């Protein structure tokens, strides 16, 4: 269901609304294989009219299903947006008004997309590679760990038969 505020109601009082938006309602792109939105977006917004402007403040939160770009593990990334926007009702850059109402759904969609991570990481310090056993790296220290990883790389190259 779209996020709509009626302007007549805003003349007399601030209006608070809460709800959920599905990923389908937001028409979010699915072109990034590392980020998917499968759960609803929750919002709590309050609109206040000040002359020919509407001020919207509140909170938007959602959870993304991500794949770490370093180790390729799946994880969930919760995101909370502190929403605060002024919309003008007149002039060249005014928000579209339809049936004395403003629809914020597309603006919320844009803010959600702006908060998508560019390179999702399961942990800020993730430095693992896919299918790399973590315990071997932790047990070896110093030059022993480096020489083992180098020898593994060379052993794969030694398998090549170049004539």
Residue 35 sits in the same domain as residue 87: yes
Provide Rg for the chain, Cα atoms.
25
Residue 43 sits in the same domain as residue 100: yes
Per-residue model confidence (pLDDT) at position 22? 93
Side-chain half-sphere CA neighbours of 56 within 13 A: 26
Q: What tens-digit pLDDT sequence spans the chain (163 residues)?
A: 789 898 888 888 999 999 999 999 998 888 889 999 999 999 999 999 988 899 999 999 999 999 999 889 999 999 999 999 999 998 888 999 999 999 999 999 999 999 999 989 998 888 876 655 555 445 444 444 455 555 666 777 777 777 6
Residue 106 sits in the same domain as residue 160: no
Measure the CA–CA gap between 121 and 128, rounded to whole angstroms. 11
Per-residue model confidence (pLDDT) at position 131? 58
Report DSSP letters for the chain, one per residue.
---EEEHHHHHHS-EEEEEEE-HHHHT-----TTEE--SPEEEEEEEEEETTEEEEEEEEEEEEEEE-TTT--EEEEEEEEEEEEEEESSSTTPPPEETTEEE-HHHHHHHHHHTS-SS--SSTT----TT--HHHHHH--HHHHHHHHHHHHHHHHHT----
Residue 66 sits in the same domain as residue 142: no
Per-residue model confidence (pLDDT) at position 140? 46
Per-residue model confidence (pLDDT) at position 139? 47
Residue 138 sits in the same domain as residue 76: no
pLDDT tens digit sequence for 100-126: 999 999 999 999 999 999 989 998 888
| Domain span holding position 90 | 4-114
- The pTM (predicted TM-score) of the whole model is 0.70
């Amino acid at each position: 269901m779209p996020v709509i505020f009626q302007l007549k109601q805003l003349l007399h009082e601030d209006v608070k609304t809460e709800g959920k938006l599905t990923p389908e309602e937001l028409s979010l792109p699915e072109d990034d294989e590392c980020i998917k939105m499968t759960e609803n977006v929750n919002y709590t917004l309050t609109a206040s009219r000040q002359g020919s402007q509407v001020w919207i403040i509140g909170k938007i939160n959602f959870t993304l299903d991500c794949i770490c770009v370093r180790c390729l593990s799946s994880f969930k990334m919760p995101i909370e947006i502190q929403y605060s926007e002024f919309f003008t009702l007149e002039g060249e850059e005014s928000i579209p008004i339809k049936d004395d109402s403003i629809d914020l759904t597309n603006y919320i969609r844009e803010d959600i997309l702006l908060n998508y991570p560019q390179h999702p990481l399961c942990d800020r310090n993730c430095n693992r590679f896919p299918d790399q056993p973590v315990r071997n790296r932790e047990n070896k220290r110093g030059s022993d760990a480096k020489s083992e990883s180098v020898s593994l790389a060379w052993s794969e190259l030694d398998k090549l038969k170049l004539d």
